[in-house]
Amino acid sequence: MHLFCELTVISKKLQGSTGYKLCHRNEIQSLTHAFGIPVLFITLNPHDLSNVLVGHFRGSSEGEWHMMSSYQQAAFIASHPAAAAMAFHEQIQAFIHVIL
């Protein structure tokens, strides 16, 4: 057993060994103590052109939305920015409700 304790100290550079894991665990603990617990950052970037909600908020059905070309969808969104904002708000609220 004494030999295994000595090997732990010696094998801290050998990946997968107990000494390696202990060394990195201690490093993580010291970083957590110095900087605090890790924080998760998430970036949301909804794509208006593929969002059926934009058409829904302006009275267009899902079928009509899918029948439009990408140019027509872009023109529709440009002419109805409030619908795009409402769709974005709805997606953010859904993210907050479901994920957070």
pLDDT confidence of residue 6: 66
Are 31 and 52 within one domain? no
Are 56 and 90 within one domain? yes
pLDDT confidence of residue 29: 92
pLDDT averaged over 10-residue windows placed end to end, the chain, 100 residues? 66 75 89 87 81 87 88 89 90 89
- Evaluate whether 25 touches 65 at the Cβ level (below 8 Å): no
- Which structural domain range is residue 21 located in? 2-35
Please state, in angstroms and rounded to a whole number, the distance separating the CA atoms of residues 51 and 37.
36
pLDDT confidence of residue 5: 64
Are 56 and 93 within one domain? yes
In order of 34, 35, 47, 75, the CA distances from 67 in angstroms are 56, 52, 18, 14
Are 31 and 68 within one domain? no
Domains of the chain: total: 2
Are 54 and 82 within one domain? yes
